[in-house]
Structure 1
Amino acid sequence: MKWITHQLRWQLGTFDSQMGSLLGAVTFIVAFMLSGTLTDYRICEDIPIQIVNAIESIQDSNLYLAARKLEYDPQPLTQGLSDIVKSILLWLEKAEPLEQIEKNITDLNQLFVTFAINSDAPIVARIQGEQAKIRVLVARIQRIRDTDFITPAYPLMQLLSGFSILALLIIETNEFTVNLMISGLICLSLSYLLILIYDLDNPFEYQGKSSVDVDLSSLKRLLEQLQRHQKTI
């Protein structure tokens, strides 16, 4: 497009301080958005691990009680935790309804009744705290998927980026080849960064829609571990 505008002599001006100010403003906005989305992404990376830790804490208490009292059957609670992990993975990767996760978390209350009969109050309070933590983390993932980082800033970023690319197409310099290379590099960088920011802003998208999704391997390993426990119990 730069070569076409040059051949058609559609270049309307030369590079000056105003053009430099425009590129500086675009750079500031893009850097601000990229920094914010990267910070949010790093926070999101820890959420699956926190869910895994909460579920493992409940399962540890479950196995501890089974070893302490032979009449206690840990199988139902293990199955309940396995159902939670499975429903979370289906929700994230296959867009299954969130309601199933909420139901599975709530169903733990019935399983905790049997646990409480055979256990001590502090341990029961601990696993209920972990249950509440799972519910909070799932709600946080839902909020992240439904909202954008500073939504009003996106139109401004798109507007400034569009004007910058248009200005680069119609601005000329003494050396066209150098102008072509620099303009192409700047346009490529802006386009890539815009795509990256939108990608980072929803790290729980999945289904092939994003290339920077949060890693769910810890949840998958936990599901396999719970299923192995069910077979050995």
Structure 2
Amino acid sequence: MESKELINKSAKKIWQKWSIAIRITPLIILLALLKILTHYLGWEVLELNALFTSLVAGTIFLIGFLISGVLSDYKESEKLPSEISASMKSLVDDTYTIYKTKNTLTALEFIEFQKMFCNSLINWFYKKEKTKVILKKISEMNHFFIELDKEGVQAGYIIKMKNEQNNLRKMILRIDTIRDTNFVDSAYTILEAMGFLIGCCLLIIKIEPFYASLFFTLVVTFLIAYMFLLIKDLDNPFDYSSNGESGTEVSLKPIHDLRKLLIDFI
């Protein structure tokens, strides 16, 4: 059983590492066939010149601009699942403390609510629940705070839990903004156009010997296509509904670990 899990983990890591390269393999094969076709049909009508190298350099500059922009959001996104898990764990700990000291039914019901909320949160990451539903459930915590206040729970506990509730709301809204907003749509458009132009030019540029021409055509196309897809993936690190928890998606392990912890809690 352990060896099977080890094999699955190894296969998952390999897929995560090479997923983008595998996705663009059909494009590279198509371009290789087209390059061979244009060579034997005599359609290589352009000579390598400084204008073409300037176009490639400009594309690389644009790629650098885009990746520096999306990396800042990605670095922030990496922290959010852990921070959400920490806020929820703090809520659970405070509620458990109240339950043990006051032996109140409201605290026990609140713990059960938090268990259900954790499941709903994972469904939300996979877009099985809408953002407004999650926000409504966060607001429903107020009902438990009101009841706990009526039962004489210290104000310090309730204020602390209200702060964690507010933190959860802010992080949910931040994730929703990141996954529904592209970095700069117009920049993606010009990058797509420049990549397409470079690919077309490489097909009709004559470089001797032919195998060197074929090699550089495939290498340049591979690098541009790979970086474009990498930037698109980094721009939405919460796209679990399409890609699952693989590739460049931010790990949800902290939230999964919390859910496992809550299953047998109390």
TM-score relative to the length of structure 1: 0.91
> Match for 1:113 among 142, 146, 149?
146
Distance in 2 separating the partners of 1:119 and 1:96: 33
Which runs of 5 or more residues in structure 2 are unaligned? 1-33
2:192 aligns to what? 158
Residues 1:189 and 2:208 aligned together: no
Corresponding residue number in structure 2 for 1:11: 44
User: What residue in structure 1 maps to residue 54 of structure 2?
Assistant: 21
Rounded Cα–Cα distance in structure 1 between residues aligned with 2:254 and 2:42: 58
- Of 18-27 and 56-65, the range deviating more from structure 2: 56-65
Normalised by the size of structure 2, how large is the TM-score?
Answer: 0.81
Deviation at residue 71 of structure 1 after TM alignment: 4.5
User: 1:127 corresponds to which letter in structure 2?
Assistant: M
The match for 1:46 is: 79
Match of 2:174 in 1: 140
Which of residues 199, 204, 207 in structure 2 aligns to 1:173?
Answer: 207
Report the Cα distance in structure 2 between the residues aligned to 1:20 and 1:71, rounded to whole angstroms: 73
What is the distance in 1 between the residues matched to 2:233 and 2:132? Answer: 26
AA of the residue aligned to 2:259: L
Aligned mates of 2:156, 2:124 — CA distance in 1: 32
- Counterpart residue number, 1:129: 163
CA distance in 1, matches of 2:92, 2:228: 43
> What one-letter code is carried by the residue in structure 2 that aligns with 1:105?
I
Task: Indicate whether 1:224 and 2:257 are aligned.
Answer: no
Note if contact 1:33-1:197 (Cα within 8 Å) is conserved in structure 2. Answer: yes
% identical aligned pairs:
27
Match of 1:70 in 2: 103
Aligned length: 230
Aligned residue in 1 for 2:12: none
In structure 1, distance between residues paired with 2:72 and 2:135: 28
Matches of 1:70 and 1:147, distance apart in 2:
46
Does the CA-based 8 Å contact 2:44-2:206 persist in structure 1?
yes
How far apart are residue 197 of structure 1 and its match? 1.5
Give 1:100 deviation, angstroms.
2.4
Please state how far the C-alpha of 1:68 moved relative to its aligned partner.
Answer: 2.7
User: Secondary structure of 1:179's match?
Assistant: helix
Following the alignment from structure 2 to structure 1, what is the Cα–Cα distance between the partners of residues 192 and 104? 64
Which amino acid in 1 is paired with 2:52? M
Does residue 1:212 correspond to 2:245, yes or no? no
CA RMSD of aligned residues (A): 1.7
Supply the distance in 2 between the matched residues of 1:107 and 1:224 (Cα, whole angstroms): 23
Q: 1:73: Cα distance to partner?
A: 5.2
User: Which structure 1 segments of 5+ residues have no match?
Assistant: none
- Which string of whole-angstrom CA distances, capped at 9 and with x for unpartnered residues, describes residues 130-188 of structure 1? 10111111111111121101122111111111111111111112322111101111111
